[in-house]
Structure formats: structure tokens, C-alpha cells
């Protein structure tokens, strides 16, 4: 899984990336683009630089390069055609999805992909979704109908910490309010993963008024949401900040597992705006945290048993990056990411199978086939 990066403002950067990747014809190229860049210019340049390849991508809330956490970069990752057979499916408007039509389309596309690469039996999918569309849950639920046991992971496009404009790149187009599903069959071994360093605390609260469509929580425990959340934390409402939300997310329990539901901001009405949909009656559990760098080191090291991966593609929540920066852990986190050859971007939300989650690291570890005398 070759990768490379360049400074977003380098006028010849994409040509350099194409030379460094040196991918065989027909490969899929993923571009994770700093929000500082002009997405339209990047898209036009990419079509020329990667002629003969399929190019998709999105803007980011930060990049993960060979140096670890990075910013102001364009990251390029190749899925070489000699080891990956890929089929990309565009959802041009995430507000207009016919679930049954989508299921029928994906079943046909999966069968066609299997016919293209019958000897490659490992199958997975990944998603890129407009991170300001607020439609990740709907998209993932629609895809789950036809993907069945296929492992799925992904990330939502970002805009740094501005939350103003996110862009998708698909076949020479720059799109908003869109999603891209990539279906893949490969000769490689893979592991799809989801990590977070959060554990449930004894503190619980109930959402008593909410607008799930807008991801708003208006009341907690029958009190104004921001005031009650601050009271539970033992701080004044005026002290709530992005760092507070990163350091004190909440969890919801689904089955026997807890999943993170992170707060994005407080709006002018004092309501809590979440990164994922939250409904009335949901019990929220305040999360405690393990040391982030220690946890990440342990989890990534686990992917190296019994042998290290040849590359890791990862989508990391912007709130994890904010927490690392505020706690002065960015250097240590970058060291761990660099050591384990992690490439990817920071997101406005992560996707894992049919779930839209927050404050996690999701991704794919790829293990190239071993030579015959080593199998």
C-alpha cells in the first residue's frame, strides 16, 4: 500500500506524488487533502498527474503522514491493481438514497468484482462521507443491507476545526453532500479495526429532549443540556470548550459494547451539538480515559502479531487530535503512528461496519502475501 505526501501549496506536488507511488496502471489512488488547499485545483491537477488511475478522496481535519500527525499536506495512498481489485460507488446526494435500489446495485457490483478477481477471496469496503452532511448513519444503514458480513470502515471528510466546508473528490468531480463507497477484493491478508482509549465511568445521564435529525441535545436530566453536562463535570458552563468535549465524551451502550458519542460544540441556544445522532431517552455514560499514547501503542502492536503489516490505512477522529495537542502528546502519538507505518487523515466521524462512531481510530492493516517458501 504505497503512500506519499506533499505540501498542499507545491504546484508540482501531485506530479511528485505520482512518481513516488509508481503505481501500476488501473490502480486506485486515495487523496486526503488539507482544507488549506483549493479542492478544485487539486482535483484538476490529480486528473493529469494520475492519468490512467482512478482517483477519489476528500478534505481533512488534519493529515497522518509518514511523520505522524501533520497538517497542510496532501496525502496520497495507492491500492495497486496487481493486489487490489476496486470498484467505487458514488452516492451523489446522501439525502436521496433508495435503500432497496442501493442494495440491488451493490449486490450486482460485488458479483462483478468477484468475477474480475476470482482468485482473490478477501473482501472489504471503505467509505468516505461528507462530514457536514449529518447523514452518515443513514448512509451506513443503507449500505449494511447488502454488504452483509463484508468488513466496512471509513471516515467523514473534514475542514480542519472550522466546520464550514467539506469536499469529496470523485473521478474529476468535486462534490458536497456526497459519499463514496469502495468495494475491494485483494490478494492480501487484512485486519479491519476500531480502537478507542475510553472506558465507562459510574456517571450517567439521560437525554430528555433532543432533535436527532440535527444532532442536538436540548435537555439532559430535564435540565438545559450544556448546563447539566457542565454540572456533572463540576465546572461552570462558560468553561466548556473543544478540549472539554475531547477530554470528557459520553458513551452509549449498544448490546454488550459501549460506543462513543462526542460533542462538537454548544450552539447559541445552549444546546449540545453532537457529531452523531442522539435520540431522546438514551442513557449517556461519561467516559474515563486510558493514557492515549500507551493505549495506541498496545493496540497497534497487537496488529503486528504474528507478523507486522506492510501498511496501515487509518481514519482518526479530530477530537483525538485535539486531546493529544492539549495534553502535549502530539509528539508521542506521532512517534507511535510513525513506528507502525500508519497513513490517513483526521475525520469528523468514523465508520465501522454499520455504525457511525466518534473519538475512535478505525482502519485497515494490510499484510502482503508471503512468498511460497514462507507460507
The answer to whether residues 182 and 203 belong to one domain is no
CB 26 within 8 A of CB 53: yes
The answer to whether residues 187 and 283 belong to one domain is no
What is the CATH classification number for the domain harbouring 245? 2.40.30
* 293 alpha-carbon distance from chain centroid: 19
CB 300 within 8 A of CB 342: yes
End of a domain among 273, 289, 305? 289
Q: Is residue 256 pLDDT above 50, yes or no? A: yes
The answer to whether residues 222 and 345 belong to one domain is no
The answer to whether residues 94 and 179 belong to one domain is yes
**Which residue carries 448546563 as its cell?**
227
- What percent of the chain stands above pLDDT 90? 78
End of a domain among 242, 257, 289? 289
Place 375 in a pLDDT band, splitting at 50, 70 and 90.
very low
pLDDT the model gives residue 374? 53
Q: Is residue 193 pLDDT above 90, yes or no? A: yes
The answer to whether residues 263 and 364 belong to one domain is no
Q: Is residue 354 pLDDT above 90, yes or no? A: no
Print the domain residue range for 175.
3-195+294-374
The answer to whether residues 209 and 335 belong to one domain is no
**Which residue carries 463484508 as its cell?**
150
Domain count, the chain: 2
* Bridge partners, 28 (sequence order): 54, 79
CB 150 within 8 A of CB 125: yes
38: left (phi over 0), alpha (psi -120 to 50) or beta: beta
pLDDT the model gives residue 253? 84
Q: How many CB atoms lie within 10 A of CB 343?
A: 24
pLDDT the model gives residue 50? 97
Q: Is residue 281 pLDDT above 70, yes or no? A: yes
The answer to whether residues 57 and 157 belong to one domain is yes
The answer to whether residues 208 and 131 belong to one domain is no
Q: How many CB atoms lie within 10 A of CB 236?
A: 10
The answer to whether residues 124 and 159 belong to one domain is yes
The answer to whether residues 124 and 240 belong to one domain is no
Q: d(Cα 317, Cα 323) in Å, to the nearest integer?
A: 10
The answer to whether residues 217 and 308 belong to one domain is no
How many angstroms separate the Cα of 142 from the Cα of each of 83, 94, 146, 193?
28, 10, 8, 21
End of a domain among 242, 272, 289? 289
The answer to whether residues 284 and 177 belong to one domain is no
Q: d(Cα 357, Cα 351) in Å, to the nearest integer?
A: 6
Amino acid at each position: 500500500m504505497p503512500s506519499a505526501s506533499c505540501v498542499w501549496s507545491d504546484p508540482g506536488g501531485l506530479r511528485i506524488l505520482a512518481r513516488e507511488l509508481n503505481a501500476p496502471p488501473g490502480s486506485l489512488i486515495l487523496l486526503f487533502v488539507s482544507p488549506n488547499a483549493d479542492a478544485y485545483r487539486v482535483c484538476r491537477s490529480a486528473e493529469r498527474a494520475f492519468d490512467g488511475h482512478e482517483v477519489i478522496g476528500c478534505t481533512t481535519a488534519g493529515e497522518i503522514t509518514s511523520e505522524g500527525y501533520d497538517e497542510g499536506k496532501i496525502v496520497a495512498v495507492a491500492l495497486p491493481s496487481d493486489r487490489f481489485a476496486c470498484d467505487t460507488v458514488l452516492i451523489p446526494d446522501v439525502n436521496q438514497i433508495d435503500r432497496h435500489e442501493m442494495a440491488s446495485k451493490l449486490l450486482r457490483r460485488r458479483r462483478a468484482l468477484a468475477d474480475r478477481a476470482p482468485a482473490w477471496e478477501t473482501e472489504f469496503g471503505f467509505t468516505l462521507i461528507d462530514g457536514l452532511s449529518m447523514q452518515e448513519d443513514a448512509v451506513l444503514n443503507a449500505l449494511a443491507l447488502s454488504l452483509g458480513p463484508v468488513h466496512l470502515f471509513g471516515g467523514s471528510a473534514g475542514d480542519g476545526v472550522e466546520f464550514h466546508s467539506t469536499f469529496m473528490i470523485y473521478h474529476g468531480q468535486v462534490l458536497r453532500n456526497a459519499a463514496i463507497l469502495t468495494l475491494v477484493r485483494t490478494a492480501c491478508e487484512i485486519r479491519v479495526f476500531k480502537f478507542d482509549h475510553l472506558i465507562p465511568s459510574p456517571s450517567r445521564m439521560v437525554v430528555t429532549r433532543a432533535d436527532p435529525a440535527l444532532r442536538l441535545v436540548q435537555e439532559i436530566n430535564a435540565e438545559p443540556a450544556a448546563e447539566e453536562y457542565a454540572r456533572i463535570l463540576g465546572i461552570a458552563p462558560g468553561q466548556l470548550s473543544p478540549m472539554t468535549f475531547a477530554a470528557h465524551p459520553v458513551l452509549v451502550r449498544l448490546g454488550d459494547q459501549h460506543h462513543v458519542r462526542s460533542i462538537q460544540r454548544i450552539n447559541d441556544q445552549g444546546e449540545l451539538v453532537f457529531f452523531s445522532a442522539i435520540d431522546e431517552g438514551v442513557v449517556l455514560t461519561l467516559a474515563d480515559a486510558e493514557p492515549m499514547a500507551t493505549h495506541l501503542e498496545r493496540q497497534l502492536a497487537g496488529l503486528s502479531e504474528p507478523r507486522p503489516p506492510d501498511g496501515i490505512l487509518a481514519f482518526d477522529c479530530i477530537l483525538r487530535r485535539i486531546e493529544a495537542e492539549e495534553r502535549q502528546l502530539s509528539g508521542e502519538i506521532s512517534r507511535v503512528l510513525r513506528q507502525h507505518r500508519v497513513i490517513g487523515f483526521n475525520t469528523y466521524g468514523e465508520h465501522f461496519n454499520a455504525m457511525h462512531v466518534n473519538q475512535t481510530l478505525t482502519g485497515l492493516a494490510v499484510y502482503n502475501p508471503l512468498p511460497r517458501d514462507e507460507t
